[in-house]
Amino acid sequence: MIDLHTHTTESDGSFSPAELIQAAVDAKLEALAITDHDTFAGYDKARPFAEAAGLPAYRGIELSTALGTPRERTVHLLGYFFKQDPSPEFISWLQHMQAARRDRNVRLAAKLQSLGCDVRIEEVNALGRSLAGRPHFAKLLVSKGYANSTQEAFDKYLDESAVAYVEREEPTVEEGIRRINEAGGLSSIAHPIRLGKRDHADEERLLADLIDQGLQAIEVYHSDHTADDQARYLAIARKYGVRVTGGSDFHGANKPNVRLGTGYQNNITVSKSLLEDLLQ
Ligand code: AMP
Ligand code: ZN
Ligand code: FE
Ligand code: FE
């Protein structure tokens, strides 16, 4: 069993890179990919621990990208660097995106303050390390009593439709795909169930469109997918001749129902042969 979708404390997971590697060893995973949001910092820190443990660990990333012009929604795009490290161009592009996120965070903290919430950017950064995001703002809002739960913090303040929402520069999904492919990576659409399409025909059209733009794989196996979803995405991957990826989307205590390797109530098992296909 392997897991190709995991997060560390370098984005919004609760396991440090070292703890994630230990958890993967404990779960007897045969391989792991770390796919923190918009950063390689977690993978870079985990690598020596994985090497010491003899666990094959792969460099991945989960990029937030904009679908549609004007932007309809954010879609998550996975990039895997199984065979080679990303190009320097990709790294500097990523640094630009990270700067855009930091700028958004500063504006978001200011907006929250203007709404009477005592949330300072220094506190957010202390929680979020190399990649503070809205989940960290939510945590602070809860701990300071401005909301009773993470969900309430999003509903009241942080959601796209809520009072404190501020825009941030996001690459288009087309650009994300192109950047990953050009950098020597494998691009895969994360948890396609969250594309939010009304019906299956619409969903297939969108996936076909993305494949036209260069998308190389579909995340067929994911904690949010039912057995029917898996079957549907597998059929689409076969029909359009793209590859298949899968993983739990492990976030530790930040998504307590999702287990490393096995997902939500054992709803996934990703076999090592899937990785062998990807490595070919
Ligand atoms: P960011 O990349 O900083 O804008 O934060 C995006 C993350 O916030 C997503 O990956 C989700 O984990 C979380 N998130 C976004 N919208 C919501 C929502 N309405 N409810 C709960 N969590 C959300
Ligand atoms: Zn996440
Ligand atoms: Fe995601
Ligand atoms: Fe994820």
pTM of the model as a whole: 0.93
Bridge pairing between strands 186-189 and 73-81:
antiparallel
Inter-residue long-range contacts of 265-271, CB under 8 Å, 24+ positions, other chains counted: 267/223, 267/225, 267/226, 267/227, 268/221, 268/222, 268/223, 268/225, 269/1, 269/221, 270/1, 270/2, 270/3, 270/4, 270/221, 270/246, 271/1, 271/2
Q: Whose CA is nearest to atom 3 of ligand 1?
A: 133
Residue 107: pLDDT over 90? yes
- Any atom of ligand 1 within 6 Å of the Cβ of 13: no
Q: Which of 28, 30, 92, 83 is nearest to 60 (CA)?
A: 83
- Any atom of ligand 1 within 6 Å of the Cβ of 137: no
Q: How confident is the model at residue 69, as a pLDDT?
A: 82
Q: How confident is the model at residue 70, as a pLDDT?
A: 83
Q: How confident is the model at residue 71, as a pLDDT?
A: 85
Q: Which of 213, 173, 220 is nearest to 193 (CA)?
A: 220
Tens digits of residue pLDDT in 218-244: 999 999 999 999 999 999 999 999 999
Q: How confident is the model at residue 77, as a pLDDT?
A: 98
Q: How confident is the model at residue 274, as a pLDDT?
A: 97
The dihedral through the CA atoms of 241, 29, 279, 61 has a sign that is positive
Q: How confident is the model at residue 128, as a pLDDT?
A: 83
Residue 103: pLDDT over 80? yes
Contact 55, 150 (CB under 8 A): no
Residue 196: pLDDT over 90? no
Tens digits of residue pLDDT in 47-62: 999 999 999 999 999 9
Q: How confident is the model at residue 23, as a pLDDT?
A: 98
Tens digits of residue pLDDT in 55-102: 999 999 999 999 988 888 899 999 999 999 999 999 999 999 999 999
Least confident of 18-22, 46-50, 101-105: 101-105
Q: Whose CA is nearest to atom 16 of ligand 1?
A: 159
Mutate-to-test residue for ligand 1 from 108, 158, 160, highest number of ligand atoms within 8 A of CB: 158
Instruction: State the distance from the centre of ligand 1 to the C-alpha of 150, rounded, in angstroms.
Output: 10
Residue 171: pLDDT over 80? yes
Q: How confident is the model at residue 263, as a pLDDT?
A: 97
Q: Note the ligand closest to the C-alpha atom of 136.
A: 1
- Any atom of ligand 1 within 6 Å of the Cβ of 64: yes
Q: How far apart are CA 207 and CA 215, in angstroms?
A: 9
- Any atom of ligand 1 within 6 Å of the Cβ of 152: no
Q: How far apart are CA 8 and CA 260, in angstroms?
A: 12
Instruction: State the distance from the centre of ligand 4 to the C-alpha of 256, rounded, in angstroms.
Output: 14
Ligand 1: atom nearest CA of 168 is 4
Which of the two residues, 71 and 43, has the higher pLDDT score? 43
Tens digits of residue pLDDT in 109-143: 999 999 999 999 999 999 887 788 999 999 999 99
Ligand 1: atom nearest CA of 132 is 3
Ligand 1: atom nearest CA of 150 is 21
In the chain, alpha helices (H): 17-26, 41-53, 88-114, 121-128, 134-143, 150-153, 173-182, 200-212, 227-240, 272-279
